[in-house]
């Protein structure tokens, strides 16, 4: 275990003990968890405190824990499938129910770099509301978070309170859903095409036939070492 990480962990506990929910050193990395209501205060401290001095945000992403820890995908008749359940459908098809989940489903993970101390830190924040996940924006603290937060909003549907321009960044503005959620159909909800007569993009009910794209592979469970 790195002595510098142990010192950093001890320092953060001393300056923000009541704000840091937990901290853990694993695989050569330090991760701290903070509550959503304490994020801005802790982020400001991490940037300005001379003992931490994390002046650069190098990454921010969303995490969906809906299927966390599942070792296998659901299997169909011809292969493995994932992300195929949906809340609504077209052409009278019955929608599939959303999978049940207990606990906090969404989290925001921030990766920080201190050029002064040559150290890295991971900050994790769980969203309190699974139906409307939201945390405070850290754009005012690290302006590099701007597009990262837009991506997390676009892909996961996580809202960032106080973001100056929170809109989609990878999908179309009329896109329905958030692709990185586990309840999104692989074939999508709608087809998009350019109509020559109307001279604009139009959306229509999806026409792609639902199918499993990942081939099913049957492997021998007994290795040579066991034989």
CATH number of the domain within which 84 lies: 3.30.460.80
**121 lies in a domain?**
yes
pLDDT, tens digit (0-9, with 9 covering 90-100), for 204-223: 888 776 666 666 666 665 55
Q: Is the pLDDT of residue 141 over 60?
A: yes
Q: Which domain holds residue 81?
A: 3-215
Radius of gyration of the chain (CA): 22
Dist. CA 130–CA 191, nearest whole Å: 28
Q: Is the pLDDT of residue 166 over 90?
A: yes
DSSP, res 169: S
**40 phi and psi angles, rounded to 5 deg:** -65, -40
Mean pLDDT, the chain, integer: 83
**70 lies in a domain?**
yes
Helix (H, G, I), strand (E, B) or coil at 26: strand
Contact 30, 23 (CB under 8 A): yes
**142 lies in a domain?**
yes
**100 lies in a domain?**
yes
Mean pLDDT on 93-122: 83
**62 lies in a domain?**
yes
Q: How many domains is the chain partitioned into structurally? A: 1
pLDDT, tens digit (0-9, with 9 covering 90-100), for 10-54: 999 999 888 999 999 998 899 999 999 999 999 999 999 999 999
**223 lies in a domain?**
no
Write down the pTM of the prediction.
Answer: 0.75
Dist. CA 148–CA 143, nearest whole Å: 10
**220 lies in a domain?**
no
**86 lies in a domain?**
yes
pLDDT-derived band at 181, boundaries 50, 70, 90: confident
């Amino acid at each position: 275990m790195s002595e510098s990480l142990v010192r950093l962990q001890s320092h953060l506990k001393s300056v923000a003990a009541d704000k840091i929910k937990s901290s853990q050193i694993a695989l050569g990395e330090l991760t701290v968890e903070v509550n959503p209501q304490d994020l801005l205060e802790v982020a400001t401290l991490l940037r300005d405190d001379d003992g931490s001095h994390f002046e650069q945000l190098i990454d921010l992403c969303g995490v969906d824990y809906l299927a966390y820890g599942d070792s296998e995908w659901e299997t169909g008749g011809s292969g493995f499938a994932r992300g195929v359940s949906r809340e609504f459908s077209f052409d009278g098809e019955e929608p599939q129910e959303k999978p049940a989940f207990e606990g906090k489903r969404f989290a925001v993970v921030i990766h920080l770099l201190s050029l002064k101390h040559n150290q890295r830190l991971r900050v994790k924040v769980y969203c309190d509301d699974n139906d409307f996940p939201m945390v405070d924006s850290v754009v005012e603290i690290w302006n590099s978070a701007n597009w990262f937060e837009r991506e997390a909003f676009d892909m996961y549907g996580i809202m960032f309170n106080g973001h100056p321009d929170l809109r989609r960044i990878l999908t179309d503005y009329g896109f329905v859903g958030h692709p990185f959620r586990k309840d999104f159909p692989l074939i999508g909800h709608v087809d998009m095409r350019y109509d020559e007569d109307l001279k604009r993009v139009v959306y229509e009910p999806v026409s792609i036939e639902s199918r499993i794209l990942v081939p099913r592979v049957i492997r021998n469970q007994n290795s040579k070492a066991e034989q």
